Amino acid sequence: MKRWFPILGIVTLALLSYALYEALVAAPTERTMGDVQRIFYYHVPSAWTAFLLFFLNFVASIQYLVRRKPGVDRIANWIVLGIAVAICIGAYVVPPPAGVERSAVATTGLAVAAIYFLVRKLFPGDRADILAVVTAEVGVVFCTIVLITGPLWARPVWGIWWAPGDIRLTSTLVLWLIYIAYLMLRKFSSSGNTAVIAAVLAVFGALDVPLVYFSIWFFRTQHPQPVIGGGGSIDPRMMQVLLINWVAFLFFAYLVSWSRYRLEVIKREVERAQGMQELMETRAR
């Protein structure tokens, strides 16, 4: 896998460069907001990438918890399958929100189950805990970008940096704070149960992600209504540029996560070796 890293780095750099050109030059200028709207091509992909990383953190944390007991692990597998089937059936029984296709809801249910079992297969043992740490770290970086670009966009458009009491803005800030607390717990706690406590906190924190995403669908907020789904619309060329930037961000997130994952694996192997050496030295005395 190491030989692919330079290739992935070159591809990521090319994608980010092309996405920058598309966002700042090629994309059409929005009629009302002007050039400041181009922040949209960084604000939204950063949010989507953060949500994806926090979802992976959620899945990895659950698997780390349930794998501690084989019986619970098997029950969790059946629950995931049951949820996927229920979502697929529910998509064609319960009317989805305006602008949302039934097939998209059903596909999401299948994708959730696929990701769960893919993570289970690729990250056995404590590798799931490593994945949880890495995705939380990188997810916080992208969530920070969201919180920075949001006010930069809001100031010239709304006339204010922040709208106090706005549920979309407040829930995003709470989400960021939860995962900052998660990382601080992992960094400074020396308890033997740190990983378990952190996994529980991650599961709790992930519950805020749907609130952030759906808040502008069900509440009156200062934040604009969704342009994708929810009955919104977007210029096809803008949509194309948005997706190009998201793909570039996904490649960048994967590159950083891959590097951080390898470092964390090496770190834990070194710590394990040092612990074994100290134990042997203690017994030798």
Instruction: Supply the DSSP string of 73-141, one letter for each residue.
Output: HHHHHHHHHHHHHHHHHHHTTSPPPTT--HHHHHHHHHHHHHHHHHHHHHS-TTHHHHHHHHHHHHHHH
Do 56 and 11 sit in the same domain of this protein? yes
Do 171 and 251 sit in the same domain of this protein? yes
Answer yes or no: are the C-beta atoms of 209 and 51 closer than 8 Å.
yes
- Evaluate whether residue 21 is within a structural domain: yes
Do 103 and 78 sit in the same domain of this protein? yes
Do 87 and 176 sit in the same domain of this protein? no
Do 92 and 129 sit in the same domain of this protein? no
Do 78 and 103 sit in the same domain of this protein? yes
Q: Whole-model pTM above 0.75?
A: yes
- Evaluate whether residue 35 is within a structural domain: no
Over residues 213-267, the pLDDT tens digits come to: 766 666 566 555 555 555 556 778 888 999 999 999 999 999 999 999 999 988 8
Do 226 and 176 sit in the same domain of this protein? yes
Over residues 55-77, the pLDDT tens digits come to: 999 999 999 999 888 888 899 88
- Evaluate whether residue 78 is within a structural domain: yes
Domain end (from 87, 106, 123): 123
Instruction: Supply the DSSP string of 24-70, one letter for each residue.
Output: IIISPPBTTTBGGGGGHHHHHHHHHHHHHHHHHHHHHHHHHHHTTSH
* Mean residue pLDDT across the chain: 84
Do 55 and 172 sit in the same domain of this protein? yes
Please state the rounded mean pLDDT for residues 163-191.
83
- Evaluate whether residue 151 is within a structural domain: yes
E strand or H helix at 125: none
Answer yes or no: are the C-beta atoms of 54 and 136 closer than 8 Å.
yes
- Evaluate whether residue 210 is within a structural domain: yes
- Evaluate whether residue 240 is within a structural domain: yes
The total of structural domains in the chain comes to 2
Do 134 and 236 sit in the same domain of this protein? yes
Do 94 and 206 sit in the same domain of this protein? no
Answer yes or no: are the C-beta atoms of 251 and 11 closer than 8 Å.
yes
Beta-strand ranges (E) seen in 59-143 are none
- Evaluate whether residue 33 is within a structural domain: no
Do 58 and 74 sit in the same domain of this protein? no
Question: 260 is in which domain, residue-wise?
Answer: 4-28+40-62+125-280
Do 176 and 49 sit in the same domain of this protein? yes
Over residues 4-20, the pLDDT tens digits come to: 888 888 999 999 999 99
